[in-house]
Structure 1
């Protein structure tokens, strides 16, 4: 059971400026009064009634807290405190000031594969630790891969956002259809029992994008994308992968496999020749290869634009639903947003 403190968060922390906001609350910079240490305060609104639009069920917040409390690892964001009141829960988290990994990479003029691999190692280290605890993330995408400090000589990866994470219990069958279409595994779409292998599919997609600047399954619509995922319909376009090593392509191919049991695990991925070359020639070929930076910059710009557009669309939709909710108290079902 997650431990929630009944005190007022403002008794122990000074609340600062907003760092970001989402569907169910906002993240603010907070300063610990006793030590002066800066943290990130995630203020999550709780749902009070069936007609409350901007809140989460307490059980979902509690599940996220329990997951993060079980994951003490250098590449996973740290949770320090949790406070609760009637209307919200406040998570005091390690402040991750380096921004998203993809944004950091997009600022570079060039990135060699061996440099990209240093980031992938950290992602796999954090994910392997999670999976060793029988916890799946189920929402791995560029937005949830951050840097603790991008100005550091060797920037440290931090995996964040465990709102969809699940802690597996022996003998339990778990299903979920949540996630972002271009990153979710076929078994998610098919509503099949899930395991940690679903995260490894997402790693394959992220690696493909990182190297080529293209999304392997992205269609014109979400429906097209999901169909492409189910068909495992992707290819290594000659132009997009002209500077990519053969071992990098092999790494991706061993992750984008429809049968979850045939995919590399996080531990196996760390031993793959792309990550850990077996011969001197493999290392030489890898070190001569680079990511397609021109395409990558375009992909990241489109990603950022789409995210901004989606936030405006979501906010407008919530306003319309809220007005509908006020005028339709007899039909609470119509007041629950599906965003």
Structure 2
């Protein structure tokens, strides 16, 4: 077992990235959403316990008519019994606190993803190192509070976040993950932060990535393609309904929930995700992975939510043909093909109904490209599947030649850097429909330069840093 307890030793004072200077007790907010959690608890006040009915609307606790409580980024401490059972919660923010008791397990499970906890060595033991990403380390953890409960920790080293853009990007990822709760997503469970590290505790997905299946020459019939792609389109439709786009959908970022079947594909890695906004300005606007990004992103056009539909269309093409639509030995030519969106549909040997779906998803003109909701009403998905098929990896077979693409971050037309992106903190109201977006956008084609790609890898103070399944695109 790996022991890094010394690296995450608890202290009285902490340097923090995620905490803010907002107050715990705030004035009532007039426009709140629906109640997402409620219950009757014991509130400690002036040394006495008072029974109170409380309700949450996201991270806002409606405490009384004159007072609300904002637990977002509050420090969360647990009151534990001698048997290591949770008997109370303490929320601390800006020098004030509130203690809540009486059957708080359900409240803890709800509130912990909005708060920041400190004492991770007491809550988890590390069982294995999964892999090293370009700017994060992934560990498998086992909970000490829940018997045999296993999670995945995405760990960021704070020494690598030296600029405001980097910090803003990390905060954006956390903000997006806190909004999500879907069966086709690796959902955020809770967050820990100390002086050196930030831990994003995520649901464990036991299955393989779609990229792994492709590299093992897994064959897919149309029923299996439907089983994989329908949940993904439903998941992305859920994101778009919440005004969020993923912006980096590719086989490496699709992982199956279970290892014994491939009926539950899930989206992972929301480091490029952001909220759509009307002005089209983001911390990093020109971003994605070469070969999967929509052409309008490369063309520096003001894009809309259906850039994710294009990425899913590329995956559909690969599943149907076992080939990549923009594959080329020369990287610059691959980018140019992706930039122009030129796809050879003669390579697609499938039913006409599936071919029609692929064509619609890979429509270069994003003003006529359908939304996820429209795609889900396509005959390919609306037709009934006579029998659901479970399929497994076929071992010891030749690689398909479909290689993993590194995440590409297009900072501007003159700078391409290999790194995970940092995202904008700006938000806006969700567009009412794709039609309204399409009418409001002016298509302005701009000159695009395809410079050399700079590979950057930050040195790790705590973990050995190396590339794994990702390959250089140079």
Post-superposition CA distance 1:103-150 (Å, at most 9, x none): 236657643201210110111111110010000000000000000112
Is 1:276 the counterpart of 2:382? The answer is yes
Taking a change above 3 Å as real, the CA distance of residues 60 and 33 of structure 1, as seen in their structure-2 partners, is same
Post-superposition CA distance 1:35-75 (Å, at most 9, x none): 1311001111124575x9xx992322221111111110100
User: How far apart are residue 297 of structure 1 and its match?
Assistant: 6.1
The aligned residue for residue 310 of structure 1 is none
The aligned residue for residue 160 of structure 1 is 268
The aligned residue for residue 33 of structure 1 is 144
> What CA distance in whole angstroms lies between the structure 2 residues aligned with 1:216 and 1:44?
34
User: How far apart are residue 101 of structure 1 and its match?
Assistant: 2.2
The aligned residue for residue 173 of structure 1 is 280
What root-mean-square deviation, in Å, do the aligned CA atoms of Structure 1 and Structure 2 show? 3.1
The aligned residue for residue 266 of structure 1 is 372
* 8 A contact 1:78–1:94 mirrored in 2: yes
The aligned residue for residue 30 of structure 2 is none
Is 1:245 the counterpart of 2:351? The answer is yes
- SS of the residue 1:183 aligns to: coil
Bigger share in helix: 1
User: How far apart are residue 263 of structure 1 and its match?
Assistant: 0.9
Q: Structure 1 stretches of 5 or more lacking a match?
A: 288-292, 308-312, 323-338
Taking a change above 3 Å as real, the CA distance of residues 173 and 15 of structure 1, as seen in their structure-2 partners, is same
**Following superposition of structure 1 onto structure 2, how do residues 289-304 of structure 1 map, counting pairs within 5 Å?**
298-299=399-400, 301-303=401-403
User: How far apart are residue 93 of structure 1 and its match?
Assistant: 0.3
User: How far apart are residue 218 of structure 1 and its match?
Assistant: 2.2
> What CA distance in whole angstroms lies between the structure 2 residues aligned with 1:90 and 1:56?
20
The aligned residue for residue 130 of structure 2 is 19
Post-superposition CA distance 1:149-183 (Å, at most 9, x none): 1214x6311100000000124x4423511211100
> What CA distance in whole angstroms lies between the structure 2 residues aligned with 1:35 and 1:111?
38
Q: Structure 2 stretches of 5 or more lacking a match?
A: 1-71, 74-113, 389-393, 407-417, 420-454, 460-473
> What CA distance in whole angstroms lies between the structure 2 residues aligned with 1:187 and 1:63?
23
* 8 A contact 2:376–2:382 mirrored in 1: yes
Picking from 143, 155, 166, the partner of 1:43 is 155
User: How far apart are residue 248 of structure 1 and its match?
Assistant: 1.0
The aligned residue for residue 232 of structure 2 is 123
* 8 A contact 1:47–1:58 mirrored in 2: no
**Following superposition of structure 1 onto structure 2, how do residues 82-161 of structure 1 map, counting pairs within 5 Å?**
82-104=191-213, 110-152=219-261, 155-161=263-269
* 8 A contact 1:105–1:111 mirrored in 2: no
* 8 A contact 2:215–2:403 mirrored in 1: no
**Following superposition of structure 1 onto structure 2, how do residues 210-249 of structure 1 map, counting pairs within 5 Å?**
210-237=319-346, 240-242=347-349, 244-249=350-355
Taking a change above 3 Å as real, the CA distance of residues 40 and 10 of structure 1, as seen in their structure-2 partners, is same
TM score, norm. by length of structure 1: 0.77
* 8 A contact 1:204–1:252 mirrored in 2: yes
> What CA distance in whole angstroms lies between the structure 2 residues aligned with 1:40 and 1:49?
22
> What CA distance in whole angstroms lies between the structure 1 residues aligned with 2:257 and 2:363?
32
The aligned residue for residue 325 of structure 1 is none
Post-superposition CA distance 1:84-116 (Å, at most 9, x none): 123221000001110102423665764320121
Picking from 178, 185, 195, the partner of 2:304 is 195
* 8 A contact 1:79–1:93 mirrored in 2: yes
**Following superposition of structure 1 onto structure 2, how do residues 62-101 of structure 1 map, counting pairs within 5 Å?**
62-101=171-210
Picking from 267, 289, 294, the partner of 1:185 is 294
TM score, norm. by length of structure 2: 0.56
> What CA distance in whole angstroms lies between the structure 2 residues aligned with 1:130 and 1:162?
11
